[in-house]
C-alpha cells in the first residue's frame, strides 16, 4: 500500500505535476523511505525467522487471510520513520477468511522478540475495540517473549487491558489463538481466555514458568517441549484444541473452524449449499453395521458421525485430548452444528474428568454462537476410581450438566447403545433440557449395566447359591439376562416420554434434519433478577 501511494503521488495532469513537483518531492521521499523501511524490516524478519523454521508474521497473515484482503492498521505505529524503526512488535489489521471479515493481530518475533510494551498493547486493544464494534472474530498469532522487560509495569498493565477486552468479547465474537512461537508467563492467559487455541508440533510453547525457573525453584529438569510444547498441550493438559503438523496446517485449521461460526453471537450462522445425492442413501444404510450388538465390543463413533453429516465432513476439536469423548463441527443440510459423542473405542466411552470438561466447554461454545448440538450417546457412565474422584469428577463432571442444562440452542440426542446411570442423564437427556431424544433399537437405558445390577439386586441370592454349591456364574448370568430383558431397554424411557421415538439407524440423518428444521425458531429465554449464574467453572 505504501508503494501504491508512492505511485499515486506521481500521477495527475502533466501541468499540475510540473507546478506541484517541488512540493511533492519531500512527500514522495517520505513515502519511499517508509516503503524501504518496511521492505528492510521484512527482509530482517525473514532472516531471523526462517533459520528457526518459522514464518514471518506477514507470511503467516498471507496464509491466514484471503489473498490481498489484509488492511493493516497503524503500520508504523510505535516506530520512527526517520529513526529507521519500522514499527511495533505486533502487526494489526482486518482481512477476510472465505470472504468474511476478521480482525487479526500477529506478534512479530523479529522485533524485540515480539515482546509486548505500551505501543503493542495500545495497537492490540484498539484492534479489539474495533472488532467488537464491527462484531467480527478476533484471531491472535502469538510469537512473543512476553512482557517487554525494559518497560516494566507499563508492559504488564497492557496485558490487563487485553485480558479485560478478551473477557468482554467472550461469547460475543469468536476468539482464536494460534501459538506459533513462545508464549510464556502470565502472557499465556491472553490465549487461555479465548475460545480455541491452536499450536504446532515444533516451535510452539506455552508455560507459566519456564524450565529455568522450574529448575531454580524445584530442581526439576525438563525441556521446553516436554513442559509446554504443542504435543503436551494437545494431548495431556488440553490447553490446545488442535495440534498443527506445521504452521500452514495450523492456520488452515483456523480458517476451517471459523467457517462453521457466525461473525458474532447476534449474527446469522453461515449457510452452505448441500446437494443430496443417491450416495446419501447408501451411506445411511452403512450405519446399521457400525455399532456391534455386543455392548462390550468397541467401535469408532466417528464412523457413525461421518455417516450422518453432510459429505462425511467432521472437524474435531480437542481430537487428541480426552479421547473417550468426541466433539466437533459439521454441517447438516448446509447448516453448521456441533456434534458431541461418547467414544466407545476409548475407555468404553466413559466420562472422565477431562472428557467432562471437553464436552462442557464445547457445548458452551456452541450455545454462545447459536450452533445446534447433536449428542450421540453410548456410555457406561462416569469413569469409576479413586484417581477420578480425587481429580474432582464431582466438581468437573458438574460442568457437563451445567453446559447442557443452561444451553438454549436446539439440542437433539440419539442414544446409539448404552446409556447408563448419571452419564445418560447428563449427556443431553430430555430431563436436563434437550428438545428431542431418539434411541436406536439396540439401546440400553438403565441405572446400571445388567451384570452390575444383578450383583447388587441379587447379592443374597448369589451368596445362597454359593453356599449351596451351585454354579454362581450361571446364576449371575441368569439374573443379568432377566434384568436386561425387563429393564435395560428404551421402552420405559419411551413410556415416560423421555425418548420421543425409536428410530432405525438408517433414519438417523433424516430424523435429525426434521428435528433441526422444527427447532430452527427456538427462542432464547432470559433469566432476570440475577447478575449472573455461578457455574462450576
Ligand atoms: C524484551 C525480549 C523479551 C522480553 C525476548 N526479547 N523476550 N526483549 N522483553 N520479554 C528479545 C531478546 O532480548 C532478543 O533481543 C530477541 O528478543 C530475541 O530473543 P532471543 O532470546 O534471542 O530468542 P530465543 O533464543 O528464541 O528465546 C526466546 C525466549 C527468550 C525463550 C522467549 O527470549 C526469553 O526467555 N525471553 C524472556 C521471556 C520472559 O521471561 N518474559 C517475561 C514473561 S512474564 P536481541 O536484541 O538480542 O535480538 C510475562 C508477564 C505477562 O510476560 C504478565 C501478564 C499478566
For ligand 1, pick from 118, 119, 145, 225 the residue to mutate: most ligand atoms within 8 Å of CB: 145
Please state the φ and ψ torsions of residue 170, each to the nearest 5 degrees: -60, 130
For 236, which DSSP code?
I
**Is 15's pLDDT higher than 80?**
no
**Alpha carbon 288 to chain centroid, angstroms:** 30
Structure confidence at residue 370 as a pLDDT band (50, 70, 90): very high
| Other CB atoms within 10 A of residue 449 CB | 21
Per-residue confidence (pLDDT) for residue 252, from 0 to 100? 98
If you average pLDDT over every residue of the chain, what do you get?
A: 93
Q: Model's pTM, two decimal places?
A: 0.92
CB-based contact 182:52 (threshold 8 Å): no
Residue 16 has what pLDDT? Answer: 53
Tens digits of residue pLDDT in 158-214? 999 999 999 999 999 999 999 999 999 889 999 999 999 999 999 999 999 989 989
Which residues does the annotation mark as catalytic? 185-186, 422-423
pLDDT for 487: 83
Q: What is the mean pLDDT of residues 317-338?
A: 98
**CA angle 184–186–187, rounded 5-degree value:** 60
**How many whole angstroms from 182 Cα to the centroid of ligand 1?**
9
- Region at 474 (left for phi over 0; alpha for psi -120 to 50; beta for the rest): alpha
Of 514, 192, 516, nearest in space to 339 by CA: 516
For residue 145, report the distance from its CA to the centre of ligand 1, in Å.
Answer: 4
Average pLDDT over residues 446-466: 89
pLDDT in tens, 226-243: 999 999 999 999 999 999
What single string gives the DSSP state of each residue in 49-73? HHTTT---HHHHHHHHSPTT--EEE
Alpha-carbon span 33 to 26, nearest angstrom: 10
Share of the chain above pLDDT 70, in %: 96
The three three-digit cell numbers of residue 339, written as one number: 456434534
Nearest CA to ligand 1 atom 25: 113
Residue 473 has pLDDT above 90, yes or no: yes
With a 6 Å cutoff on the Cβ, whether 113 touches ligand 1 is: yes
Distance 80 CA to ligand 1 centre (A): 22
pLDDT over threshold 80, residue 9: no
pLDDT score at 4: 39
User: pLDDT band for position 42 (50/70/90)?
Assistant: very high
Give the pLDDT of residue 23: 66
CA nearest to 258, candidates 364, 175, 342:
175
Look at phi and psi of residue 184 and say left if phi exceeds 0, alpha if psi is from -120 to 50, else beta: beta
Computed from CA positions of residues 191, 242, 374, 340, in that sequence, does the dihedral angle turn out positive or negative? negative
Question: What local confidence, expressed as pLDDT, does residue 224 receive?
Answer: 93
Distance CA 46, CA 56 (A): 6
Question: Is the model's pLDDT at 277 over the cut of 90?
Answer: no
Which residue's C-alpha comes closest to atom 24 of ligand 1? 113
CA–CA separation, 425 vs 446, rounded Å?
Answer: 10
Name the residue among 76, 72, 53, 52 with its Cα closest to residue 61: 72
Asked if the model's pLDDT at residue 262 lies above 70, the reply is: yes
Q: What is the pLDDT of residue 117?
A: 97
pLDDT grade for 531, boundaries at 50, 70 and 90: confident
Q: Per-residue pLDDT for 12 more than 60?
A: no
CA dihedral 329, 332, 335, 337 (to 10 degrees): -30
Q: Is 185 in the pocket of ligand 1 (CB under 6 A)?
A: yes
Lowest mean pLDDT among 182-196, 314-328, 411-425, 444-458: 444-458
Q: How far is CA 373 from CA 225, 326, 336, in A?
A: 35, 13, 10
Query: Which among 51, 111, 113, 206 is the best mutation to test ligand 1's pocket, defined by most ligand atoms within 8 Å of the CB?
Result: 113
Strands 501-502 and 436-439: parallel
Strand, coil or helix: what is 376?
strand
Q: Which protein residue has the closest C-alpha to ligand 1 atom 46?
A: 112
115 lines ligand 1 (CB under 6 A): yes
Q: Relative to the CA of 156, which ligand 1 atom is closest?
A: 53
Q: What is the side-by-side order of every strand in the sheet holding 100-107?
A: 71-73, 90-97, 100-107, 138-142, 175-179, 196-200, 242-244
Q: What is the pLDDT of residue 1?
A: 38
Examine the pLDDT at 428 and tell me if it is beyond 90.
Answer: yes
From 108, 111, 119, 146, the mutation candidate for ligand 1 (largest count of ligand atoms within 8 A of CB) is 146
Q: Rounded to the nearest whole angstrom, what is the distance from the C-alpha of residue 238 to the centroid of ligand 1?
A: 25
Nearest CA among 263, 180, 186 for reference residue 229: 180
DSSP 528: P
Tell me which residue has its CA closest to atom 55 in ligand 1. 186
Q: Which cell goes with 143?
A: 510469537
Confidence (pLDDT) at 514: 97
pLDDT of 94-109, one tens digit each?
999 999 999 999 999 9
pLDDT of residue 17: 57
More confident residue, 81 or 260: 260
Q: What is the mean pLDDT of residues 134-142?
A: 98
9 vs 381: which has the higher pLDDT: 381
pLDDT computed for residue 294 by the predictor? 85
Interatomic CA distance for residues 200 and 15, integer angstroms: 57
Question: Which residue has the least CA distance to atom 48 on ligand 1?
Answer: 112
Amino acid at each position: 500500500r505504501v508503494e501504491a501511494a508512492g505511485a499515486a503521488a506521481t500521477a495527475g495532469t502533466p501541468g499540475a505535476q510540473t507546478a506541484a513537483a517541488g512540493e511533492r518531492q519531500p512527500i514522495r521521499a517520505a513515502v519511499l523511505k517508509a516503503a524501504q523501511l518496511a521492505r528492510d524490516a521484512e527482509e530482517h524478519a525473514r532472516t531471523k525467522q526462517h533459520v528457526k523454521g518459522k514464518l514471518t508474521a506477514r507470511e503467516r497473515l498471507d496464509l491466514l487471510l484471503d489473498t490481498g484482503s489484509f488492511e493493516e492498521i497503524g503500520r508504523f505505529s510505535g516506530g520512527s520513520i526517520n529513526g529507521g524503526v519500522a514499527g511495533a512488535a505486533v502487526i494489526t489489521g482486518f482481512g477476510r477468511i472465505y470472504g468474511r471479515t476478521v480482525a487479526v493481530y500477529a506478534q512479530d518475533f523479529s522485533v524485540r522478540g515480539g515482546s509486548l510494551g505500551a505501543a503493542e498493547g495500545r495497537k492490540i486493544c484498539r484492534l479489539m475495540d474495533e472488532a467488537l464494534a464491527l462484531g467480527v472474530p478476533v484471531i491472535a498469532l502469538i510469537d512473543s517473549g512476553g512482557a517487554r522487560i525494559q518497560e516494566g509495569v507499563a508492559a504488564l498493565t497492557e496485558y490487563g487491558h487485553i485480558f479485560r477486552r478478551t473477557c468482554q468479547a467472550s461469547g460475543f465474537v469468536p476468539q482464536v489463538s494460534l501459538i506459533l512461537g513462545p508464549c510464556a508467563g502470565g502472557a499465556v492467559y491472553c490465549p487461555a481466555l479465548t475460545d480455541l487455541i491452536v499450536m504446532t508440533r515444533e516451535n510452539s510453547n506455552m508455560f507459566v514458568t519456564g524450565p529455568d525457573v522450574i529448575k531454580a525453584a524445584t530442581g526439576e529438569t525438563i525441556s521446553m517441549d516436554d513442559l509446554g510444547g504443542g504435543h503436551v498441550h494437545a494431548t495431556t493438559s488440553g490447553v490446545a484444541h488442535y495440534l498443527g503438523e506445521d504452521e500452514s496446517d495450523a492456520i488452515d485449521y483456523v480458517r476451517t473452524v471459523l467457517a462453521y461460526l457466525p461473525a458474532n453471537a447476534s449474527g446469522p450462522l453461515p449457510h452452505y449449499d448441500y446437494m443430496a445425492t443417491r450416495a446419501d442413501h447408501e451411506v445411511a444404510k452403512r450405519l446399521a453395521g457400525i455399532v456391534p450388538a455386543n455392548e462390550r465390543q468397541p467401535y469408532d463413533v466417528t464412523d457413525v458421525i461421518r455417516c450422518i453429516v453432510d459429505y462425511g465432513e467432521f472437524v474435531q476439536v480437542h481430537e487428541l485430548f480426552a479421547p473417550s469423548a468426541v466433539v466437533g463441527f459439521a454441517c447438516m443440510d448446509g447448516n453448521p452444528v456441533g456434534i458431541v459423542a461418547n467414544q466407545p473405542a476409548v475407555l468404553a466411552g466413559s466420562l472422565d474428568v477431562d472428557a467432562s470438561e471437553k464436552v462442557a466447554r464445547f457445548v458452551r461454545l456452541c450455545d454462545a454462537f447459536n450452533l445446534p448440538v447433536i449428542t450421540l450417546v453410548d456410555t457406561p457412565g462416569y469413569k469409576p476410581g479413586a484417581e477420578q474422584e480425587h481429580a474432582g469428577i464431582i466438581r468437573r463432571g458438574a460442568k457437563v450438566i451445567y453446559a447442557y442444562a443452561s444451553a438454549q440452542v436446539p439440542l437433539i440426542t440419539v442414544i446409539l447403545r448404552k446409556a447408563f446411570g448419571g452419564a445418560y442423564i447428563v449427556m443431553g437427556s430430555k430431563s436436563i433440557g434437550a428438545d428431542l431424544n431418539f434411541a436406536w433399537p439396540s439401546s440400553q437405558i438403565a441405572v446400571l449395566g445388567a451384570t452390575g445390577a444383578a450383583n447388587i439386586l441379587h447379592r443374597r441370592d448369589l451368596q445362597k447359591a454359593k453356599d449351596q454349591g451351585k454354579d454362581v456364574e450361571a446364576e449371575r448370568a441368569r439374573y443379568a439376562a432377566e434384568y436386561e430383558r425387563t429393564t435395560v431397554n428404551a421402552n420405559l424411557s419411551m413410556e415416560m416420554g423421555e425418548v420421543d421415538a425409536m428410530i432405525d439407524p438408517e433414519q438417523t440423518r433424516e430424523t435429525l434434519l426434521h428435528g433441526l428444521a422444527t427447532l430452527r425458531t427456538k427462542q432464547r429465554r432470559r433469566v432476570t433478577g440475577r447478575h449472573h449464574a455461578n457455574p462450576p467453572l
